[in-house]
Amino acid sequence: MSNAVHIVVCAGIVPDPLQTLEPITTPTGPGLKNEMVLPAVLDPWAACALYEAANLAAKNPGSKVWLVSLGPKAKLQQVMMTIAQKVSFELVPIDGPIGGFPDAHSTAAVLAETIAALSGLDRERLLLFGGWESATRGAGVTLQLVGERLGITDQFQGVDKIDLRDDGSFEVLERVEGGKHQVSVCVGTPAVLGWATGNLAEPRNNPQVGMANMRTIMPALQKAKSTTLPANGLRYVSVSLPKQQRTTRVVKDLTPDQIASELVEWIGAE
Confidence category of residue 1, pLDDT binned at 50, 70, 90? very low
Task: For 119-147, write each residue's pLDDT tens digit.
Answer: 888 888 899 998 887 776 556 788 888 89
Beta strands 225-226 and 191-195: pairing type? unpaired
Enclosing domain of residue 55 = 6-226
Angle 99-104-109 from CA coordinates, rounded to 5°: 110
Give the whole-angstrom CA distance, residue 261 versus residue 187: 50
End-to-end, the C-alpha distance of the chain in Å comes to 58
- Looking up residue 139, the CATH number of its domain turns out to be 3.40.50.620
pLDDT of res. 233: 62
Is position 245 within any domain? no
On whether residue 241 sits in a domain, the answer given is no
Total domains present in the chain: 1
Q: What 3-state DSSP class applies to 209?
A: helix
The residues with which 186 forms a beta bridge, in sequence order, are 170
Put simply, whether the predicted model's pTM sits higher than 0.85 gets the answer no
State the average pLDDT for the chain: 83
Query: What are the helix (H) ranges across the chain?
Result: 44-59, 73-83, 104-116, 142-149, 207-222, 256-268
Listed residue (132, 137, 56, 41) closest to 89, CA to CA: 56
Within-domain flag for 164: yes
